C-alpha cells in the first residue's frame, strides 16, 4: 500500500513552513523526522516540543526533531522546506548523506538568481539520485500548523508517484491535489511572489483596491505568458499553485512578499523593507524578468519590480511608467 511505502517523511528545514508541514504530515498519519541546521533550536524542540518560529505550535510525538542529516536516512520521502537561494548547498549535503531513489519534494517558491533554474532542476543537478517533485499552493504556515482547511498541489514528472505522495500527505484539514506538471507549479509559485510585491507597493502608495485589482489581473496575464513559454499547462496556471496563490499572496499582509511591497510603497528602501525576513520575490524578480526578455515575453510589472528593488527607479516613477504604456488590446 502507498501508506506503507511512505510511513516516514523527512522534512528538511526547521523554519515556520517546515515545521508546519511536519505537523501536517503527522496529522496524515506519518512519522516525521524534522531536520534543522540549528542544533540549539533542535534541542529546544526536543525538550519543550515547541517550534521557535511558530508560536503556539506543539510538536506531537510522531515528529522527531534532528540536527544530523543521517537521521533522514529513515525517511522514504523528503520535503525540502528551505529557501530557493539556499537549496543548492542543502542538496549537495543530502546527496552525500542519503541513499539514491528518494523522492525530494521542494516546498520553495522561487527561481535561483544566479542560474535561472527552477527548484526541481536544482535538485536534479545537485542530487541526481533523487526523484524531484514540487509542493505549492495558497498557504500560510500558521494556517497549516493550526490545522485550518488548506489545499495544495503536488507535482512530479512521474504521475503515479505524485498521486501516491498526495494521498499519504493529505489529511482531513490538508487536501493535496496531484499533477504531472512540475514546471507549471513552480512558475506559479515563483511569479506570484513578484506580483505580491507589486500589489503591496500599490496599497502602500495608497492607490486603493481598484488599482490592486487591475495590477493583479494584468500581472496574472504576465504569469500566464511566462508560464506557457516555459511549457506550463494552462490548467496548472489557473489552479491552486497559480491563480490560487496569486489571490492569497496579493491580498494579505501575512504574505511576506506583499508586506515587503507594502513597505516599499510606504517609503522604505529595499533593504529596510525586508525587515530581516525573507521575501522570495525580491530575489526572483530580476531573474524572472531576464528570462522573459530572453524569450521575447513582455513582463512590464516584473520589470518594474526588479528595477525598484535594484534601486534603478522609484516606486512612483515605476507606476507612472506602467500607466504611460501605449493603449493596446487586453488580449
Active-site positions read: 192
Q: What b/e sequence results for 224-234 when a residue is b if at least 16 CB atoms lie within 10 Å of its CB, and e otherwise? A: bbbbeebebbe
| Cβ pair 82, 12 in contact under 8 A | yes
Return d(Cα 155, Cα 140) in angstroms, integer. 19
| Secondary structure (H, E, C), 1-56 | CHHHHCCEEEEECCCHHHHHHHHHHHHCCCEEEEECCCHHHHHHHHHHCECCCCCC
CA separation for the pair 279, 193 (Å, rounded): 8
Task: Kindly give, in sequence order, each residue whose CB lies less than 8 Å from that of residue 293, ignoring residues fewer than 6 positions away.
Answer: none
Pure H helices in the chain: 2-5, 16-27, 39-48, 87-97, 119-126, 141-146, 159-169, 182-204, 208-229, 234-237, 245-249, 256-265, 270-274, 280-294, 300-309, 315-323
Going by C-alpha positions, the residue among 178, 256, 254, 185 that lies closest to residue 223 is: 185
Amino acid at each position: 500500500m502507498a501508506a506503507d511505502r511512505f510511513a516516514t517523511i523527512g522534512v528538511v528545514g526547521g523554519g515556520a513552513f517546515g515545521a508546519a508541514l511536519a505537523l501536517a504530515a503527522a496529522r496524515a498519519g506519518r512519522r516525521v523526522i524534522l531536520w534543522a541546521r540549528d542544533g540549539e533550536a533542535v534541542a529546544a524542540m526536543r525538550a519543550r516540543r515547541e517550534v521557535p518560529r511558530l508560536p503556539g505550535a506543539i510538536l506531537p510525538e510522531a515528529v522527531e526533531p534532528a540536527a544530523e542529516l543521517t537521521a533522514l536516512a529513515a525517511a522514504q520521502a523528503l520535503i525540502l522546506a528551505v529557501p530557493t537561494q539556499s537549496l543548492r548547498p542543502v542538496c549537495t549535503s543530502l546527496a552525500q548523506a542519503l541513499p539514491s531513489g528518494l523522492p525530494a519534494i521542494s516546498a520553495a517558491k522561487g527561481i535561483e538568481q544566479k542560474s535561472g533554474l527552477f527548484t526541481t532542476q536544482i535538485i536534479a543537478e545537485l542530487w541526481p539520485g533523487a526523484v524531484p517533485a514540487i509542493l505549492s499552493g495558497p498557504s500560510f504556515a500558521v494556517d497549516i500548523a493550526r490545522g485550518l482547511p488548506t489545499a495544495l498541489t503536488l507535482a512530479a514528472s512521474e504521475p503515479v508517484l505524485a498521486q501516491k505522495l498526495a494521498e499519504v500527505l493529505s489529511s482531513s484539514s490538508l487536501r493535496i491535489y496531484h499533477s504531472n506538471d512540475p514546471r507549471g507549479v513552480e512558475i506559479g509559485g515563483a511569479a506570484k511572489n513578484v506580483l505580491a510585491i507589486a500589489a503591496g507597493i500599490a496599497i502602500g502608495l495608497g492607490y486603493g483596491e481598484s488599482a490592486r485589482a487591475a495590477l493583479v489581473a494584468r500581472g496574472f496575464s504576465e504569469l500566464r505568458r511566462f508560464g506557457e513559454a516555459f511549457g506550463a499547462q494552462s490548467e496548472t496556471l489557473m489552479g491552486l499553485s497559480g491563480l490560487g496563490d496569486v489571490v492569497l499572496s496579493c491580498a494579505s499582509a501575512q504574505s511576506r512578499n506583499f508586506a515587503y511591497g507594502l513597505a516599499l510603497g510606504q517609503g522604505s528602501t529595499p533593504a529596510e523593507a525586508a525587515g530581516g525576513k525573507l521575501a522570495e520575490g525580491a530575489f526572483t524578480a530580476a531573474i524572472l524578468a531576464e528570462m522573459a526578455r530572453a524569450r521575447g515575453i513582455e513582463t512590464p510589472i516584473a520589470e518594474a519590480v526588479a528595477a525598484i528593488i535594484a534601486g534603478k527607479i522609484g516606486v512612483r516613477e515605476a507606476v507612472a511608467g506602467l500607466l504611460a504604456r501605449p493603449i493596446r488590446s487586453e488580449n
